[in-house]
Amino acid sequence: MKFYRSRFTKNLYPALFAIKNSAVSSPSVYELIARFKSDLLNVINHISAISSEEFLEIIEIIEAYEGNEKNIEYTEDTFSIIVSLDFDKSFTIPVNAGFTNIPTNQTQNIVFTGYPFNEYNGKYLINSVCNILFLK
């Protein structure tokens, strides 16, 4: 199960964040989903039926995804981060942002398209609100 959890973190987790924080999907998102689905099918008999059904439903929703209902526009103020995938070293969240924008002390404005990927590690949102924007 430890292997399966690591596959969730490596594949499904960034795919979910990419979908919810982006205007559109990308081939890399679908590749992440395909990899997770393959891993899931290898262990499906070893996890609870409820978990496997929920994961299969999530995969089905993402595979059918056509675009975000949120009106997302990428500007120089849009928060974006590179997520290095073994098959796509320039994958960004939001998808196709084309740049990295992580707030620093010099940041004047920052726009988050959703809860940031890896917020628990980078503290991008909390630092932006508490340390950068409020201290100016």
Domain presence at residue 134 = no
Q: Which domain holds residue 22?
A: 2-63
pLDDT per residue of the chain (136 residues) written in tens, 0 to 9? 676 678 888 999 999 999 999 988 899 999 999 999 999 998 888 888 888 899 899 999 888 888 888 888 888 899 999 998 999 998 999 998 888 988 887 888 888 988 888 777 777 777 777 766 555 5
Domain presence at residue 73 = no
pTM above 0.75, yes or no: yes
Cα separation of 86 and 43, whole Å? 22
Number of domains in the chain: 1
Domain presence at residue 77 = no
Alpha-carbon separation of residue 52 from 18, 64, 115, 118 (angstroms): 22, 18, 26, 24
Domain presence at residue 112 = no
Query: Of 117, 84, 87, whose CA–CA distance to 16 is shortest?
Result: 117
Note the Cα 18 to chain centre separation in Å.
Answer: 4
Domain presence at residue 21 = yes
